[in-house]
Amino acid sequence: MRMATTLSVLVLGAGGIGHAVVTSLDTGITRVDPFKDMKNRPQAGHGMNVLVVGTDGRDSISEEERRAYRLGGEPCHCTDTVMLIHISEDRDRASVVSLPRDSYAEMPEHVDETTGERHQAHPVKLNAAYAEGGPALTVRTVESMTGVKIDHYLEVDFTSFMKTVDAVGGVEICTARPMKDTHTGLDLAAGTHELTGGQALQYVRSRHVDGASDLGRMQRQQRFLAALIDRMTTGGVLLNPVRFRQVSTTMLGSVRADRGFGTDQMLALAKGMRGFTPASSEFVSVPVGDVAFEVEGIGSTVKWDAPKAQKLFQALREDRPLTVPKPAASEASKTGPRRSVVEVAPKTIRVQVYNGTRLDGLGRRVDDALRATGFDTTRAPRTADGPELRRTLVEYDPRWDRSAKSLAAALPEAELRAVKGQGGTLRVTAGLDYRAVKPVRAEERRTGPFEAVTGDRVVCP
């Protein structure tokens, strides 16, 4: 489910752990045959394509966990999450494409696995393919929609997700704004959080923390996967045989996979993907043209932007990266201080600095420090009128309150004061308490024709 990239990351350590351990993991996977009797499939491209689906299965979750993490109700036996993972032929890159579960889809003609009844092709939401025809119909539907040939199929559920996160010791998530969802019980203040398995499940399931609904949830899932890669590649999981076995056994114990995904494939991937890091992964959601496309008998669906989606999947078939190359980081940026994540990019925030003390040069020091962390200062600090100020003050027009919060993150000890009619330029008056500006950076930047982002841009700084 949300553990799409967990499976890939576990593979990375397989070569260093040993053939015997990998073989034992292979025997714990439940097998399915999603490619049985499939005809007229897309032509194979370069690299490997893995379809990862997450079901809402919760059979082994305790009553206490159901209550704590709002997992009551009956499962729909459908796919809660659908991701297409492309691993490049040179094993240097993993591209994760999120497919909205409510995507408008044309279900291919098929025979119901339970009743034996034949169904003609008909429109549905993407997540209904699993309910009607299980893994095989899900693969057929995705291949029909994307033109990408699926090489392997992996399926996980709520239980496996929670236990795996706990097995790696939790995952660190950063959020620039408070997140609260009464449907899942998610309640996070702005800042950095270490999430347990249950809390992580709330985070990746939440659809009601903003107006973006399922599309916003997909971006949070991508952010979570990048953080999980970071934890597993830097937290010693892949280098410690005992921890590797614990994590992989926990996860694979409730995974279902095609018969072709076994020991040989895991070892081959492990050999080629040494040195894999969050920067090696890239995340994107399929381009959407209409988020509320009404279909009679189905309701509101998500309709893809066909031309853009076609270009995206063509890039996967041709094994091309989805992100634009980034300039090499300077040594200073590599070893510099940890940066807090803010909602509004500092470069978009105009700031006028005032010296509210009798200390010579303080205004210039504050202006330089704010500019160094990215704020658009005037470079012309002024001297404030009135008595000497003990506490630094940030004044802002209420219409720019989100920008003020980003500026306040850089000056956490400052007082915030709303001033109606002040306009778009924020005002900082440095007081006697000023010590330094705390470095900040904006939330992830999605670039290129597909608005993709690399994993190192979405993990905590």
Kindly tell me if the per-residue pLDDT of 3 is higher than 60: no
Q: For the chain, first and last CA: distance in Å?
A: 26
How far apart (Å, rounded) are the C-alpha atoms in residues 187 and 202?
A: 9
Q: What are phi and psi of 226, to 5 degrees?
A: -65, -40
Domains in the chain: ranges and CATH: 4-328+447-457 (3.40.630.190), 344-442 (3.30.70)
| Confidence category of residue 4, pLDDT binned at 50, 70, 90 | very low
Which of 88-92, 207-211, 231-235, 334-338 has the least mean pLDDT? 334-338
Can you tell me the mean pLDDT for 94-109?
90
Can you tell me the mean pLDDT for 75-90?
79
Query: CA 419: distance to chain centroid?
Result: 37
User: b or e along 80-89 (b: 16 or more beta carbons within 10 Å of the residue's beta carbon)?
Assistant: bbbbbbbbbe
Residue 238 corresponds to which amino acid?
A: L
- CA-nearest of 128, 131, 109, 89 to 38 is 109
User: Would you tell me how many other CB atoms lie within 10 Å of the CB of residue 118?
Assistant: 9
Kindly tell me if the per-residue pLDDT of 335 is higher than 50: no
pLDDT in tens, 384-423: 999 999 999 999 999 999 899 999 999 999 999 999 999 9
How far apart (Å, rounded) are the C-alpha atoms in residues 421 and 272?
A: 59
How far apart (Å, rounded) are the C-alpha atoms in residues 55 and 19?
A: 30
| Percentages (nearest 5) of helix, strand, coil residues in the chain | 35, 25, 40
How far apart (Å, rounded) are the C-alpha atoms in residues 293 and 121?
A: 19
Q: Three-state SS for 373? A: coil
Which tops the pLDDT comparison, 11 or 361?
361
Contact predicate 164/1, CB 8 Å: no
Contact predicate 168/232, CB 8 Å: yes
Q: Which two tokens stand for residue 19?
A: 């053939």
Which tops the pLDDT comparison, 344 or 212?
344
Q: What are phi and psi of 73, to 5 degrees?
A: 90, 170
Which of 134-143, 226-235, 327-336, 423-432 has the least mean pLDDT? 327-336
Tell if the pTM clears 0.85, that is, is over it.
Answer: no
Sign for the CA dihedral angle at 99, 101, 103, 107 comes to positive
The CA R_g of the chain, rounded to the nearest whole Å, is 25
Residue 35 corresponds to which amino acid?
A: F
> Residue 279 carries which DSSP code?
G
- CA-nearest of 74, 100, 72 to 185 is 72
Contact predicate 233/209, CB 8 Å: no
- CA-nearest of 147, 148, 190, 192 to 338 is 192
How far apart (Å, rounded) are the C-alpha atoms in residues 323 and 400?
A: 31
| Confidence category of residue 18, pLDDT binned at 50, 70, 90 | low
